[in-house]
C-alpha cells in the first residue's frame, strides 16, 4: 500500500462499512469526496478508496492546490435506494468516521452522495464541506467539475482541430449524473452533436431535453464519435475496449478511467488522445478548496476551474514534444510536486 493510512469502521447506527483512505498529506490535509456505492465485496470498496485517494493526491498537486489526497467509500448492500432516516443514520456515522481523522481528512460529496448528506455529517464533524447553499454552504461541486471538464474538452479539440469550437462535433457522454447531466447541457449549448447514455433509463428525459441521441450503455463507448466523454464510474478504459474505440480522443470527468497505466500507452499507440482524468476533473476539488476552505468567491473558483483548459493544452503540447503520453507528462509533474513537498517535511 502506497498510502499513509486506511481505515474501515462499521457505522454504529447504520451497520454499514465506512472506508476512509488517506494517500498523502505531503502537500497539506487530505481532501476528497465520499462515494456511496454497492460493491460486490468490501475489498472492492477498499480498492476503490485506495485508487481514488491516490488520484486525489495527483489532482491537488496538478491543480497547484496545497492539499493532499483522501477519499471515503460507504459500502452499500446490493440494490435499493436509501432515503429518509436510514440515509440520515449513514451520514451521522460517516461524520463520526471523518471526525476520527481530526481534520487530516476533509470530505465532500461525490458519486452517490449529495450536499444534503454532507449537512447531516456536519452534525458530527466540522471537516465536511460543500453543504447546501440554503444552509450557508458552497453547494454541489459538480457545476465546477462540469465547467472544468468543458474547458478540457475544448482544449483537446483545439489541439486536434485548431479550434475550440464544438459546434457540429460528435460528442458522446457516458453517465448523466450530477456532473454528466450538467456537462451534457453545456455541450448542447456549445452546439455539439450529442450522443448520451446512462444505466438509469430515467435519464432519457435529459436526452430529449438537450436534443441528444440516446444509445444503449453497452455500446456507447464504441460509438463512432469525435470525442468520448466518460462521466460515469471508473475503469471504463480497458485493454480490450481500447482496441474497439472509434474516436479521436477520450476526455471526461470520471475518476480513474484506466484499468491500469499501460492502457494510456495503448491509446497513444492507436492515435487516440487521452486527457488524464485527474487533470480534467479537478473543478470539484477547486470548488471545495477555494470556496469552502480558503473562503474565495465563486468567480475566483470558476476562473480556476476554467484554467484546466490551458493546463491540459500545455500537457498535450509537452507530450508531443517529448514523444510521450499526456498521462506520463501529467504524472511526472504531479508526483514531482508531491515528492518535493515530502522532502521539505522530512
Ligand atoms: N461530483 C463531482 O463534482 C466530481 C468531481 C470529480 C470527479 N467526479 C467523478 O465524475 C464521475 C461522475 O460523478 P457524479 O458525481 O456525476 O456521479 P453520479 O453518481 O451523480 O452519476 C453517475 C452516473 O453514471 C451512471 N452510470 C453508472 N454506471 C454506468 C455505466 N456503466 N454506463 C452508463 N452510465 C452509468 C449512473 O446511473 C449515474 O447517473 C465519477 O467518476 C466521479 O468520481 C465527480
Contact 338, 345 (CB under 8 A): no
Query: Ligand 1 center to residue 151 CA distance, Å?
Result: 18
Q: What is the largest CA-CA distance in the chain?
A: 56
Q: Which residue has cell 471538464?
A: 149
Between these two residues, 193 and 1, which has the higher pLDDT value? 193
In DSSP terms, 5 is beta-bridged to 22
Ligand 1 atom nearest to 236, measured from its CA: 31
User: Binding site annotation covers 178?
Assistant: yes
Q: What is the pTM of this model?
A: 0.95
In angstroms, the CA 207 to CA 39 distance is 28
Closest CA to 232 of 243, 223, 221: 221
- Establish how many alpha carbons lie within 13 A of residue 116's alpha carbon, considering only the half-sphere containing its beta carbon: 5
Which tens digit of pLDDT belongs to each residue from 275-313? Answer: 999 999 999 999 999 999 999 999 999 999 999 999 999
Q: Is 59 one of the annotated active-site residues of the chain?
A: no
Which residues lie with the beta carbon below 6 Å from any ligand 1 atom? 110-112, 141-142, 145, 174-180, 197-200, 217, 231-234, 253-255, 281, 284
Q: Taken in order 266, 271, 272, 275, is the CA torsion positive or negative? A: positive
- Ligand 1 pocket test target in 110, 201, 202 with most atoms within 8 Å of CB: 110
Q: Domains in the chain, start-ordered, CATH in brackets?
A: 5-49+70-140 (3.40.50.10860), 143-281+311-334 (3.40.50.720)
Catalytic residue among 71, 87, 104, 129: 71
pLDDT tops 80 at residue 146 = yes
Lowest mean pLDDT, pick from 73-87, 212-226, 231-245, 306-320: 73-87
Average pLDDT, the chain: 96
**Which residue has cell 430529449?**
208
For residue 219, count CB atoms less than 10 angstroms from its CB and return exposed for 0-12, middle for 13-18, buried for 19 or more: exposed
Separation of CA 231 and ligand 1 centre (Å) = 5
SS3 83: coil
pLDDT, mean of residues 2-30 = 97
Q: 291-295: which pairs have CB atoms within 8 A and are 24 or more residues apart?
A: 291/138, 292/108, 292/129, 292/130, 292/137, 292/138, 293/31, 293/67, 293/106, 293/129
pLDDT above 90: percentage of residues in the chain: 95
172 alpha carbon – ligand 1 mean position (Å):
15
Amino acid at each position: 500500500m502506497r498510502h499513509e493510512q486506511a481505515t474501515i469502521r462499521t457505522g454504529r447506527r447504520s451497520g454499514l462499512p465506512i472506508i476512509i483512505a488517506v494517500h498523502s498529506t505531503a502537500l497539506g490535509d487530505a481532501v476528497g469526496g465520499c462515494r456511496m456505492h454497492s460493491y460486490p465485496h468490501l475489498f472492492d470498496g477498499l480498492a476503490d478508496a485506495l485508487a481514488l485517494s491516490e488520484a486525489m493526491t495527483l489532482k491537488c498537486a496538478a491543480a497547484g492546490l496545497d492539499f493532499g489526497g483522501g477519499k471515503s467509500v460507504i459500502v452499500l448492500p446490493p440494490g435499493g435506494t436509501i432515503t429518509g432516516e436510514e440515509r440520515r443514520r449513514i451520514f451521522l456515522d460517516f461524520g463520526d468516521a471523518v471526525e476520527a481523522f481530526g481534520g487530516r481528512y476533509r470530505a465532500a460529496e461525490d458519486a452517490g452522495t449529495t450536499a444534503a448528506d454532507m449537512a447531516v455529517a456536519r452534525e458530527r464533524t466540522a471537516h465536511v464541506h460543500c453543504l447546501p447553499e440554503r444552509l450557508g454552504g458552497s453547494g454541489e461541486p459538480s457545476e465546477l467539475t462540469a465547467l472544468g471538464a468543458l474547458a478540457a474538452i475544448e482544449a483537446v479539440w483545439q489541439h486536434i482541430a485548431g479550434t475550440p469550437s464544438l459546434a457540429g462535433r460528435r460528442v458522446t457522454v457516458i453517465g448523466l449524473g450530477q456532473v454528466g447531466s450538467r456537462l451534457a447541457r453545456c455541450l448542447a449549448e456549445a452546439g455539439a452533436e450529442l450522443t448520451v447514455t446512462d444505466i438509469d433509463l430515467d435519464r432519457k428525459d435529459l436526452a430529449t431535453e438537450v436534443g441528444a441521441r440516446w444509445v444503449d450503455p453497452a455500446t456507447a463507448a464504441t460509438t463512432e464519435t469525435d470525442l468520448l466523454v466518460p462521466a460515469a464510474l471508473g475503469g471504463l478504459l480497458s485493454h480490450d475496449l481500447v482496441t474497439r474505440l472509434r474516436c479521436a480522443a477520450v476526455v471526461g470527468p470520471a475518476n480513474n478511467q484506466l484499468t491500469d497505466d499501460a492502457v494510456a500507452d495503448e491509446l497513444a499507440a492507436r492515435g487516440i488522445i487521452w486527457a488524464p482524468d485527474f487533470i480534467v476533473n479537478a473543478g470539484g476539488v477547486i470548488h471545495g478548496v477555494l470556496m469552502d476552505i480558503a473562503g474565495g468567491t465563486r468567480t475566483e473558483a470558476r476562473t480556476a476551474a476554467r484554467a484546466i483548459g490551458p493546463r491540459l493544452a500545455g500537457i498535450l503540447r509537452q507530450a508531443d514534444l517529448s514523444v510521450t503520453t499526456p498521462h506520463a507528462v501529467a504524472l511526472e509533474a504531479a508526483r514531482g510536486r508531491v515528492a518535493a513537498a515530502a522532502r521539505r517535511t522530512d
